[in-house]
Amino acid sequence: MTFRHLTASNPPTSRDGVRQERSKTDSLSRCGIAVAVLLGGAMALAGCISVNAPDKPIVIELNINIKQEVIYRLAEDVKQNIEANPEIF
Amino acid sequence: MKHLVQLSLRRWSILAGAAALAATGVASPVWAQRDPAYAAARAAGQIGEKPDGYLGVVGGASPDVRALVDKINIQRRANYTQRASAQNATVEEYAFTQGCILIQRTAPGEKYQAPGGGWQTRGSGAPERDPRCP
């Protein structure tokens, strides 16, 4: 209501200009709704991907990059390391 | 002549020292070579092994214990860096693997950190370790 009042009483814009603008915004918003509905439908079909904040400390997240095969490869050297440097273990 | 005697004596002492070292290395466990302060703090449960390959302070320990942990962790870091590059691995990978084995080798009564982050006391059974540990 106030929007209409304001635009109607706005001196620099003519009534036609206002009408044109209004119809333009109307079609734009309609288009936007259609796109949103389409996108929503597409997302619903594809299945929602929810991203949750991690509840574990970031330190543990870093460890996930370490692969088990690497650990198995290093296991023997690590044992020899204890024998070679007992004072730090 | 005097020089020769001194030389041979020195050689003998070196040989004797090496023999003694070898003997203790075989007879006693590796842990016998730990710094006594470190061994005591470990046995008292003030210091524990972490899964990342470093030592951690359990609870509110004294500044001396903290300093000791920091000192050994710096030495470990240097050691891991050197060994990791020789094995074409990252320091983190090497340290993590070392952590797996160190937790596995904790003695009953010693502290270690479980994958969840909580401190555990090693019992007679297997310790709680990361599933990737060998």
**Does B103 lie at the interface with A, CB-CB under 8 angstroms?**
no
Q: Distance, in angstroms, between B3 CA and closest chain A CA?
A: 35
CB contact under 8 A, A87 and B89: no
Please tell me the pTM assigned to this model.
0.60
B11/chain A closest Cα distance in angstroms: 24
pLDDT, tens only, B24-79 = 444 445 556 899 999 999 999 999 999 999 999 999 889 999 999 999 999 999 99
Residue B83: which of A60, A68, A81 has the nearest Cβ?
A81
Nearest residue in B to A57, CA atom: B117
Provide the sign of the torsion angle of the four alpha carbons B25, B27, B30, B31, taken in this order: negative
Please, is B89 exposed, middle or buried when counting C-beta atoms within 10 Å of its C-beta (0-12, 13-18, 19+)? Answer: buried
pLDDT value, residue B90:
95
Average pLDDT over every residue of A4-21: 46
A37-68 per-position pLDDT tens digit: 655 555 555 678 788 876 766 555 555 678 88
Angle at CA of residue A75, ends A70 and A80, nearest 5°? 140
